[in-house]
Structure 1
Amino acid sequence: MITKEREIKALITLLGDEDQNIRNIAREKLLDFGEMASDYLRDVVHKDYEGRIRIEAWKILEEIRLEKLTDEFRKLSQAKVFDLEEGAFLLAQFEYPNLDVQAYKQQIDEMAEEIHGRIFEIRDVRRMVHVINQYLFYEQGFRGNVESYYDPQNSYINRVLDRKLGIPISLSALYLFIADRLDLPIFGVGLPGHFMLKFHCEWDEFYIDAFNYGQLLSKNDCVNFLKRMGYTYNESYFNIAKPRDILARMIRNLVLIYHQKNQKNKVDVLERFFSLIVNH
């Protein structure tokens, strides 16, 4: 262990070498050490080391972090049961590495508990959804971000919870996480251009637009909505979306946003995540 510690420290020193080839060799070896080198690299980043060494150390740390996150996406994709909520928080950690996931899950738990206290005696399912919508969109203030629709923050579940702003799919994801805690038969439906929710039980079926304050819609309303957006009717649009497909669509949205911002590094990493999710 002492030998490896000395080797890591020596390699970090070489990150400041004038010779690019030596710096590259040191970088690759530090990447091979992975997590073992992380503490030493963090120490360098936060101390008064030579500028080049600090910059290179930060880059290596970020690469190690993203490789670890990629492994987490791989595990998620290979799991027997695909956990959308876990995936949404992994995606959030791409942009927010120090995210306190448990604190945000606790926040969702508390919202679900509050809603449960209001709906547990209600038998009319539409009335039940109305109560949920009243709490989420009017009391809590969640809404669609029509002013800055393409702000990437709209796609990260932690920022949706922080700002109470989102796009159709991220607001729907939050709704799904709460519905799952309440054992409600609410599912995602990936309509083109606008993600929706479907309440489906033996005696009733209707759609919920989380982007528009939980507006309740019939299937015919959705068909007319699609026509106004220029889409012809296709029954497959109304299929229940698999959790895997929902996360893939969330990632794809971010890929498009970062592509427009010319942030190629982020696009490359997100496309790696996307590939792991869809090519399972």
Structure 2
Amino acid sequence: MPGELAALVSLLDDDSPTVLAAVTQRLRELADEAAPALRDLAEQGSPKVRGRAREVLANLERREGFSRLARLAETPGPDLEEGAMLLASIHDPAVDPFALRLKLDRLAEGAARTIGDAPQGRPRIERFLKSLHQQEGFQGDEEAFYAFQNNFLDSVLERRRGIPITLILVYMLVGRRIGV
């Protein structure tokens, strides 16, 4: 570990708000270089240092997520699913995009079974909506409409509750998988 990084890491234990703010800022600037040392500290340091290292790492991960989201938004025809996954992972770095895609795939399999051989148009759409609303239980969150969790794909898939825009997102992502 280079000298500056070693010194910065050792100062994560400092109780001075001024020192801690300066150290945190510099570690953010050294993002890629600092991340391995911060990961080690997040697992092996004193409780105070572990917490501070995790805080800096979480901030770095959010910044990287926002950068990826900005790059995605600049592409022609950005991938809606990828954007929703990025937003969820910015909110919760533990979000597993593979697991979310698997949930969407399983919902699509169930919807395809419900749709069966329904003709195109209204009958097909009605069966699709029945699958997600009645059989899978997706609906508006009437108890906590303004809850933060209603904004993120992972939470809506888990709870089967959301606000109209995230419910539409789920319906679109599932529908695309089966041509609805």
TM over 0.5: yes
Please name the residue that 1:164 is paired with.
Answer: 160
Residues 151-189 of structure 1 show CA distances to partners (whole Å, capped at 9, x for unaligned) of 1111111111111111111111100111222233xxxxx
**Cα deviation, residue 62, structure 1:** 2.2
The 1:18/1:103 distance shift into structure 2, 3 A limit, reads closer
Q: Flag the 1:78–1:125 CA change in 2: closer, same or farther, 3 A.
A: same
Unaligned runs of 5+ in 1: 185-280
Question: Helix, strand or coil: the match of 1:45?
Answer: helix
From the superposition, tell whether residues 142 and 8 of structure 1 become closer, same or farther in structure 2 (CA, over 3 Å). Answer: same
TM-score (norm 2): 0.87
Report the CA distance shift for 1:143/1:50 in structure 2 as closer, same or farther (over 3 A). Answer: closer
Task: Provide closer, same or farther for how the CA distance between residues 87 and 15 of structure 1 changes in structure 2, counting only shifts above 3 A.
Answer: same
Q: Which residue among 16, 21, 35 is the counterpart of 2:13?
A: 16
1:105 aligns with 2:115: no
Q: Could you say which structure has the higher helix fraction?
A: 2
The alignment of Structure 1 onto Structure 2 pairs a total of residues equal to: 180
1:127 is matched with 123
Distance 1:54 1:119, change over 3 A: closer
Question: What is the aligned-residue identity percentage?
Answer: 28
User: 1:42 matched to which residue of 2?
Assistant: 39
Matched, 1:82 2:83: no
Higher mean C-alpha displacement, 89-98 vs 39-48? 39-48
TM-score by length of 1: 0.58
Task: Report the Cα distance in structure 1 between the residues aligned to 2:135 and 2:45, rounded to whole angstroms.
Answer: 48
State the AA in 2 paired with 1:10: A
Q: Which of 3, 6, 30 lines up with 1:33 in the alignment? A: 30
The one-letter code matched in structure 2 to 1:121 is D
Amino acid at match of 1:28: Q
| Residue 18 of structure 1: how far off its partner (Å) | 5.5
Distance 2:147 2:178 in 1: 30
Q: Which has the larger strand fraction?
A: 1
CA drift of 1:90 comes to 1.1
Matches within 5 A, 1:102-251: 102-119=98-115, 121-184=117-180
Counterpart-to-counterpart distance in 1, 2:19 and 2:148: 38
Q: In the alignment, is the contact (CA less than 8 A) between 2:58 and 2:93 conserved in 1?
A: no
Cα distance in 2 for partners of 1:50, 1:155 equals 32
Measured against aligned partners, the alpha-carbon deviations of 1:211-250 in whole angstroms (never above 9, x if no partner) come to xxxxxxxxxxxxxxxxxxxxxxxxxxxxxxxxxxxxxxxx
For the pair shown, which has the larger CA radius of gyration, 1 or 2? Answer: 1
- C-alpha contact 1:44 1:54 (8 A) present in aligned 2: yes
- 2:146 and 2:128 map into 1 onto residues whose CA distance is 27
